[in-house]
Structure 1
Amino acid sequence: MSAALWAGVLVIGGLGSVARYVVDRAVARRAARSFPFGTLTVNITGAVLLGFLTGLALPPHAALLAGTAFVGAYTTFSTWMFETQRLTEERRAWLAGANIVVSVVLGIAAAAAGQAIAGLL
């Protein structure tokens, strides 16, 4: 990989992480509940975007920058698991279970939808 590509990953990944923070905070502020709607929103929109990018069959460097750098930094597995663990520790096991099930089911559906949308182009 060239230095320019590494720099692109750095910058675009940074933009993805900032976008994650902005979206998460905006949704969490509006929802103001114990369920992590902000992280759910980020991960579902990220799944749609990644499915879309996959459906476009981008060249390798474009896929790296858009899919891995931006979407990889935008979505967050670790926060999802941390919030699920927090719900369990707060004795809200049903919310923790719902977080897992809803995230997985909607994530798969969102990725498929994104891929289908790209296929229409």
Structure 2
Amino acid sequence: MTSELWTWIIIGLGGSFGAVTRYALTIWVQSISSRSFPFATFLINITGSFLFGICLGWNHPGPFHFAVTTGFLGGYTTFSTFGVESVELLQKKGWVTAALYILLSVSLSLAGVISGYSWSAS
């Protein structure tokens, strides 16, 4: 098997594992929290951003790096769900709740990348 084909396969496997992990975490978070606020997506995107920051700091390019970043973290984090839930919050809870969710999600996700990178690069 060629190196390029192997990279494609492990990215796909990583993405599958990331998506299943996201689904399991979503079910668990929804079982212990209110469904009126998208805590699961909030937690998933922030932790995924932190983990991605760690991967950036390690800077070990190769198949394993792509399996974790493009694969697992690509399947684990979810910008499209964040967008849908932002619109739903706007419609159901109003602009204050939606704006708070958007601002906190974006700022804490960026902080996650920065802190993960800083932690792993030091």
How does the TM-score come out when normalised to structure 2?
0.91
Which one-letter code corresponds to 1:57 in the other structure? Answer: N
Which one-letter code corresponds to 1:99 in the other structure? Answer: Y
Instruction: Report Cα offsets for 1:34-93 as digits up to 9, x if no partner.
Output: 110100000000000000000001113332111111101100000000001111121422
> Which residue in the other structure is 2:26 paired with?
24
Structure-2 separation of matches of 1:37 and 1:92: 17
Is the partner of 1:2 in helix, strand or coil?
helix
Residue correspondences, number:
120
Displaced runs of 4 or more, over 2 A: 60-63
Give 1:27 shift. 1.4
Residue 52, structure 1, aligned to residue 70, structure 2: no
1:2-81 equivalent positions in 2, closer than 5 A: 2-81=4-83
Structure-1 separation of matches of 2:23 and 2:111: 23
Is the partner of 1:90 in helix, strand or coil?
helix
The answer to whether the Cα contact below 8 Å between 1:24 and 1:41 also exists between their aligned partners in 2 is no
Residue from 69, 85, 89 that aligns with 1:87: 89
Unaligned runs of 5+ in 1: none
Is the partner of 1:32 in helix, strand or coil?
coil
The answer to whether the Cα contact below 8 Å between 2:52 and 2:73 also exists between their aligned partners in 1 is yes
